[in-house]
Chain A
Amino acid sequence: MVRKKNLLAVGIACFITVFSMCRKAQPFNDTGYDSRLSGGQATVFDASSKAFTHMIAGLVGTDLNAHERGDVAFEQTFVSAPAPVFGGLGPVFNNVSCISCHHNDGKGTPTAGTVTSSLLLRITNGLTDEHGGPAGVDGYGGQVQDVALFGIQPEAHWDIVYAEVPVTYPDGSTASLRKPTYNMQNAYKAISGGYFISPRLAPPVFGLGLLENIPEGTIASFADEADKDGDGIRGHVNYVYNPQTKQTEIGRFGLKANTPTIMVQVATAYQQDMGVTSMVRPQEASWGQAQCAGISGDNYDLPDSTLRAVAFYVKTLAVPARRDVEDAEVKRGEALFTQINCSGCHRTTVQTGMDVNVPALSNQRIHPYTDLLVHDMGDGLADGYTDFLANGREWRTTPLWGIGLFEKTNGTPYYLHDGRARSIEEAILWHGGEATNTKNKFMQLNKTDRNAVIRFLRSL
């Protein structure tokens, strides 16, 4: 009888063991994670002005060389062709190097057309092109290049005017937002018909390798187009055209998630922002325009190896670690961030997929504070510019990692897609559309709690 009991016990134990082995994989609980590691293994501990400029750990050999080459090329000023080296700038462009706009690999200054400017304006006639993207305007293409080589007329200049808009909190506190207006001046050619413009301030370029490595299914799973959970937040994926693969793919990069890969992002920036053509974007931005007369279309400007190196450099820039994570006010702000549902779009934690070539990007638990979806952000931020599936009110959820360091990396910090916000508080107050409920909840918090939310954001 005793023996039978033992057998029964062993049987049950085996049964439990077998069933527990068959259990579906569950995420680990939070115990043991270091919440400072915003980029998982691809995190760097530096809160200085250079916080966004660091290589992820573990690169050796050709990878290390590629990153270093890309670093040099990222900072390289281009000149007009013919030139012994770094030729191909223009004939019309927005700036002369990557770093000119992406100051310290971060954001820049919301001015247009000067050597220190980081703002550009896209333009469309409101129709779609053969790939479903925004059709350009005759004589301008899809972007207004507001600088030109000597002797050539820029496409236009922009006069940016801000109007202050007062905001009053329920508790009587006040703030002031500045609403920009962009007036096209000195256009080299009259535009016939209507058009829409979309201002874009250069965003930070770190952590992109991690974002590129988030599985498509993960991003799609965040979408809630029918708002089934009733929280007012919908969000959807932007599917866009990839000129390299000639296919429609999920959009991840750009302020409307209009770009599928880092490679396309880099190549498009070289082409559109600098007039430097490459294997991925072999045609001059001004092709077919008068300014382009005399430029040979036979060869592109950028060596393939340089394009690859810059793309790899951007892919392998580490994410800065959080600061003050144990501070009571920061923890309070973090809780409120979730409680008022900022995290409904600014997803706190995401798991990256496999990358056998770069372990630091592979299978990482990261805190990007984005869902990479596009959301209706309301009238206040609407630009009327449709970009593939993102309509004129929709913007991609901005990753918030590193946002607390903009004062360091940028001198004077600017926020939002066009740099209109001068502080994190202003950026929050501009939220509308799907974020209206959350913005209102933020405004209903008392000042101490509002400060706690901002303090939390400054810890990112």
Chain B
Amino acid sequence: MKRILYTTMAVAVLFAACNKKKDTTPGTEVPFTEMEQTVLNDFTNKVAISGYSDLKNKADALYTTLNTLNTSTTDDNLNAARAAWKDLRTTWEQCEGFLFGPVEDNDYDPNMDTWPTDYHQMDSLLASGNGLTQSDIQAATLSLRGFHPVEYIIFGVGGSRTAAEITARQKQYMISLAADVQNTCHALYDSWAGAGNFAQKVTTAGNGSDKYAHKQEVYLAMIGAMTDICGEVGEGKMKEPFGTSVATADSNIVESPYSGNSTLDFKNNIIGLKNVYMGIGDGKGLCYLVASKNKDLDNRIQNQINTAIAAFDNITLPYGQAIYTQRTQVQHTMDALEALKGTLEGDLTTFAKQYITD
């Protein structure tokens, strides 16, 4: 009876593991190299291209809502624009879970996500006779482009902006900013799915790709990107403003301060990392491979990802306040990220080098 029970439990565990993928069960015997290809295909189509497709659609939506705000400057329309901005940020921050390929090679990231905003130059720009066209914006320095100047205009310091306060020049600026962001998001999508066809470089890794001669290379790029975003959030975006004490904490260096969106940005970065590891929907992520060879490691990674994501929910105040009054919760989150990063750059990287050999 005990034996049957154990067997049943084992089967249940195996079925439950890793997004309930049927063919991880014993007996199906999918060759590991085939599994590697499946993960690359699913990452490419269901995480990367799907993510960038969402990104361009949401950039379109932001552009539309800002145009509506421009023609009808009501607080309702302002709220709609703010919602569209946050919606776009959610997707972008999740796409930062896989910052490799064209997004870094072609500088799409700094073109739209440079921080901090340059108040001084922004004031000069708005006070000038500059045409504030899209090409004017594209010619400007990075700190005058992208998400955060838009954020500053539609939220204002402390999120206090009202629709009536937005000046005609600011409206003109925000429309061109949104068009510029839209342009970058479309170019990013096209670099994978369109003419750039980076998708093909990933899916043919080790099989003719001119970017990745071996599958292991693209897997290490994926794991490296996961590790980097973990470090960027835990050791950079969170730790820098956190300082070493209340006295050394500095809310001035909190990203996305106008919208109060910082903690959600951080969390979405890690959700993006999770999407790469777990896959999205019926797509298979890295866990498909890990679970097939080292279930303990897979469990550990999944637990650490989930622990880190859950830890953000304990930070209930805007991050600029939390660094002063919720230091314990912030520290716990950074600790969780540090543990996760250690596993990604340690055991998961070792796993890829050991098992993904083609």
Binding site for B on A (CB under 8 A): 45-50, 68-69, 71-72, 75, 77, 79-87, 89, 96, 100, 103-104, 115-116, 147, 149-151, 407-408, 410-412
Contact = CB atoms under 8 A, between A and B. Distances in A.
Given A47-B220, A150-B144, 5 more contacts: A49-B104, A82-B120, A89-B143, A149-B121, A150-B121
Contacts of B114: 77, 96
Contacts of B128: 150-151
Contact of B141 (A82, A96, A104): A96
A115 B117 CA distance: 16
Contacts of B102: 411
Most buried by B among A69, A71, A115, A412: A115
B106 A411 contact: yes
A77 B124 contact: no
A318 B275 CA distance: 30
A412 B105 contact: yes
Contacts of A412: 105
Nearest to A67: B235
B235 A49 contact: no
Contacts of A115: 107, 110-111, 141-142
Interface in B74-118: 100, 102, 104-107, 110-111, 114-118
Given A49-B100, A104-B104, A150-B144, A80 B224 contact: no
B13 to A, nearest CB: 33
Given A46-B224, A85-B252, A79 B110 contact: no
B252 A150 contact: no
B334 to A, nearest CB: 12
Contact of A48 (B115, B120, B220): B220
B134 to A, nearest CB: 15
Contacts of B106: 116, 411
A150 B124 contact: yes
Contacts of B32: none
Contacts of A82: 120
A68 to B, nearest CB: 5
Contacts of B250: 85
Interface string B111-137: 100111111110011001010000000
Interface string B246-279: 0000101100000000000000000000000000
Q: Which A-B residue pairs are the 8 nearest by beta carbons?
A: A411-B105, A79-B118, A84-B252, A80-B120, A116-B107, A72-B236, A48-B221, A150-B121
A96 B104 contact: no
Contacts of B236: 68, 71-72, 75
Interface string B182-206: 0000000000000000000000000
A89 B114 CA distance: 14
Contact of A77 (B107, B142, B228, B240): B142
B105 A96 contact: no
Nearest to A407: B211
Contact of A79 (B143, B224, B239): B143
Given A46-B220, A50-B224, A77-B142, A100 B110 contact: yes
B298 interface: no
B116 A48 contact: no
A356 to B, nearest CB: 27
Contacts of A407: 211
A31 to B, nearest CB: 26
**Interface size grouping (class) on chain B:** 35 or more
B140 A150 contact: yes
Interface string B136-150: 000011111000000
A208 to B, nearest CB: 21
Chain A contact residues: over half helix, strand or loop, or mixed?
Answer: loop
Nearest to B349: A46
A80 B105 contact: no
A79 B121 contact: yes
Nearest to A86: B116
B99 to A, nearest CB: 10
Contacts, number: 99
B205 to A, nearest CB: 12
Contacts of B116: 77, 79, 83-86
A362 B105 CA distance: 34
A18 B262 CA distance: 71
13 contacts: A47-B217, A49-B105, A68-B239, A69-B240, A72-B235, A79-B119, A84-B116, A85-B116, A89-B141, A100-B110, A100-B142, A115-B107, A150-B128
Contact of A83 (B118, B141, B235): B118
Q: Which of A50, A71, A81 has the most CB of B within 10 A?
A: A50
B236 to A, nearest CB: 5
Given A48-B224, A72-B236, A79-B121, A147 B104 contact: no
A82 B119 CA distance: 9
Contacts of A75: 236
Contacts of B253: 85-86
A83 B120 contact: yes
Nearest to B105: A411
Contacts of B117: 79
B267 to A, nearest CB: 20
A407 B120 CA distance: 38
Contacts of B110: 77, 100, 115
B115 A77 contact: yes
Contact of B143 (A45, A47, A77, A408): A77
Contacts of A48: 100, 217, 220-221, 224
Contacts of A49: 100, 104-105, 221, 224
Contacts of A151: 124, 128
B102, B235, B252: residue with the most chain A Cβ atoms closer than 10 Å: B235
Contacts of A50: 221, 224, 228
A72 B240 contact: yes
Nearest to B126: A150
A289 B338 CA distance: 48
Contacts of A116: 106-107
Contacts of A85: 116, 250, 252-253
Contacts of B124: 149-151
B105 A410 contact: yes
Nearest to B222: A48
Task: Identify the interface centre among B117, B119, B140, B250: most chain A CB within 10 Å of its CB.
Answer: B119
Nearest to A93: B141
A411 B107 CA distance: 10
Nearest to B240: A72
A261 B142 CA distance: 30
B242 to A, nearest CB: 12
A100 B142 CA distance: 10
A317 to B, nearest CB: 14
Nearest to B253: A85
A69 B243 CA distance: 11
A113 to B, nearest CB: 10
Nearest to B220: A48
A72 B237 CA distance: 9
B156 to A, nearest CB: 16
A417 B117 CA distance: 33
A162 B125 CA distance: 35
B166 to A, nearest CB: 20
Contacts of B105: 49, 410-412
B120 A79 contact: yes
A70 to B, nearest CB: 11
Which of B118, B125, B239, B353 has the most chain A CB atoms inside 10 A of its CB?
B118
